[in-house]
Structure formats: C-alpha cells, structure tokens
C-alpha cells in the first residue's frame, strides 16, 4: 500500500484521480469546441496553419505531462470553473478567456511542457480576438509606420513618394494603401506562434529558444517589406500580389521562414 498522501480534493467518484493535466485537457477541449460552435462552420472555415501547429504542439506537451503534475489546488478548480463559464456564453469572443484560463492551468502544471502549452494556449486566445474592434484601433499606427518605411525604401530606389497615414502617393499620380491584409500584422503573429509550436514539435525536451522566434520575425519583416515596395512601385505587381493569386507565394514564403527558423539545430556558444 502506498504511503503517499493524496490531496483530499483531488479524487473523483469511483477512486479516479483528478490531476492538473486532466483539468487542462478538459478546459482546452471545451474552449476549442465552444469557439467552433460559436463561430459556426462557415465562420471557422479551413484551419489556419498556425492553429494546426499550435494544437499539435499543445497536444504533444499535454500528453507528455506527468500524470501527477502537482496536487489539484482550490485555485485550479477556480480557473477550471472560469474556463467552463466562459464556454457557456454564446459569443465567439468568449473563446479567448476560456483558452486563457486553460493556459493558466497549463502553466500551473509546471516544467517546460506545462509552460509551453500555457504560452501556446494564451497565443490562441489572442488569435481569437484578432477581428475585434481593439485590433482595428491598434493596427492604425502600425500601418502608418509601415507606409512611412515603404516610402523610405522607395526613396532609396529612386522612386519619389509621399506617405500620409497608411496611404503612399507616388509622383506618377497613382497611390497605394497599406491594409491589414498586406501588412506585417497579418503575418508576424502567426509566424511567431508557428515557429514556437514547430520548435516544440521538433525538440520537445528543449526550452524553446526565443532567438528562433526573433529570427522568424526578422525574416518576415524583410520579405513583407519587399512585397510592399513591389506593390507600391508597380501596378502589375499590386494586381498580382494583392489578389488571391498572390496568396500562394506568400504562404510558401511563410512556410519557408518557419522551417528555416524552427528546424535547424543552432550551435550553442
């Protein structure tokens, strides 16, 4: 007979052990199901590659958590209840706090795997609010900064341009507007989260190096800046890259950046 004392509040009916990983799995599944049901089949659409990578990494980390990753404390039950309460609302936006609560449970499991799952769940919570009104307000200064930077790069190439807000006016009379769909905003977040998740899948025993995420963001900045300059300088490039036909090269570049940043082994100095 084991002489290890069990927490009195950590046993379910029938003698089954309630653990933090079990609470985490239930909360994460409920939050994901709530998001799909609230958004509807048409609203969910095809899964974003970042979401797929993050879900795979979260699942792998949770599966590798030790079953006795800490006794279930009253705070764990409170966080779990908050996640389920958020899932009971009919609004899609409630998926964000539900996922955030699941991330808090993962973090409390401790260790590299618990913290990594917590980071990724919190990242998905942020992604669930990407279409909110606050995102539109926060994007305005970023779009204006990208327009000024594009103007600067055009000037280096000998193309006269003037930036006002997120609009770039060229000397030949045509103008280019930097929108969220062609901005760094549409690529930076999923690229950072995707790099983190892919690193976890490739090296589950290691702490994710934030240098990899920084390297991925740097590559995205270079590639997207070149894309904005091409679209601003050439109406033909704008018509191709700004249309649906330009989505494929962007996705290929996104995948290549993730692979280059996340998979190769870097020498430790």
Q: Token pair for residue 71?
A: 């006794």
Largest interatomic CA distance in the chain: 85
- What one-character DSSP code corresponds to residue 169? E
Residue 265 has pLDDT above 50, yes or no: yes
**Predicted confidence (pLDDT) per residue in 8-43, tens digit:** 444 444 445 788 888 888 898 888 888 777 766 555
Cβ distance 91 to 131 under 8 Å? no
- Model pTM score: 0.81
Q: Which residues contact 167 (CB under 8 A, 6 or more apart)?
A: 147, 175, 176, 177, 178
How far apart, in Å, are the Cα atoms of 129 and each of 36, 197, 220?
14, 20, 22
**Predicted confidence (pLDDT) per residue in 64-102, tens digit:** 888 766 678 899 999 999 999 998 988 888 888 999 999
pLDDT bin (cut points 50, 70, 90) of residue 122 is very high
Q: Cβ of 72: how many Cβ atoms within 10 Å?
A: 21
- The conformational region for residue 113 under phi > 0 = left, psi -120 to 50 = alpha, else beta, is alpha
Residue for token digits 């609203």?
A: 43
Cβ distance 31 to 88 under 8 Å? no
162 three-class SS: strand
Residues belonging to the chain = 269
Q: Cβ of 52: how many Cβ atoms within 10 Å?
A: 13
CA gap 118, 252 in Å, rounded = 28
Angle at 75 (CA atoms; ends 39, 91), nearest 5 degrees: 15
CA gap 211, 48 in Å, rounded = 24
Q: Cβ of 162: how many Cβ atoms within 10 Å?
A: 13
Mean pLDDT of 233-253: 78
Q: Which residues contact 104 (CB under 8 A, 6 or more apart)?
A: 79, 118
Mean pLDDT of 222-242: 83
- What one-character DSSP code corresponds to residue 167? E
How far apart, in Å, are the Cα atoms of 219 and each of 71, 225, 240?
43, 10, 22
Residue for token digits 């191709």?
A: 240
């Amino acid at each position: 007979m084991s002489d290890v004392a069990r927490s009195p509040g950590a046993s379910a009916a029938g003698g089954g052990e309630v653990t933090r990983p079990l609470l985490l799995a239930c909360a994460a599944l409920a939050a994901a199901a709530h998001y799909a049901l609230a958004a509807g089949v048409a609203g969910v659409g095809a899964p974003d590659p970042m979401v797929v990578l993050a879900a795979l990494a979260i699942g792998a980390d949770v599966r590798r958590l030790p079953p006795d990753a800490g006794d279930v404390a009253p705070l764990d039950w409170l966080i779990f209840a908050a996640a389920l309460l958020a899932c009971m609302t009919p609004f899609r936006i409630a998926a964000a706090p539900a996922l955030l609560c699941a991330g808090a449970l993962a973090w409390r499991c401790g260790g590299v795997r618990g913290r990594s799952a917590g980071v990724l769940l919190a990242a998905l919570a942020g992604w669930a609010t990407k279409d909110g009104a606050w995102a539109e307000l926060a994007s305005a200064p970023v779009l204006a900064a990208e327009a000024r930077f594009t103007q600067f790069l055009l000037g280096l190439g000998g193309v006269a341009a003037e930036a006002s807000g997120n609009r770039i006016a060229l000397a030949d009379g045509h103008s280019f507007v930097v929108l969220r769909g062609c901005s760094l905003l549409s690529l930076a977040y999923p690229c950072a989260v995707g790099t983190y998740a892919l690193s976890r899948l490739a090296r589950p025993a290691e702490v994710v190096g934030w240098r990899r995420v920084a390297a991925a963001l740097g590559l995205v900045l270079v590639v997207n800046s070149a894309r904005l300059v091409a679209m601003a300088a050439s109406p033909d490039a704008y018509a191709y890259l700004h249309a649906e036909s330009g989505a494929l090269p962007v996705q290929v570049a996104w995948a290549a950046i993730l692979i280059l940043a996340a998979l190769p082994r870097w020498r430790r100095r």
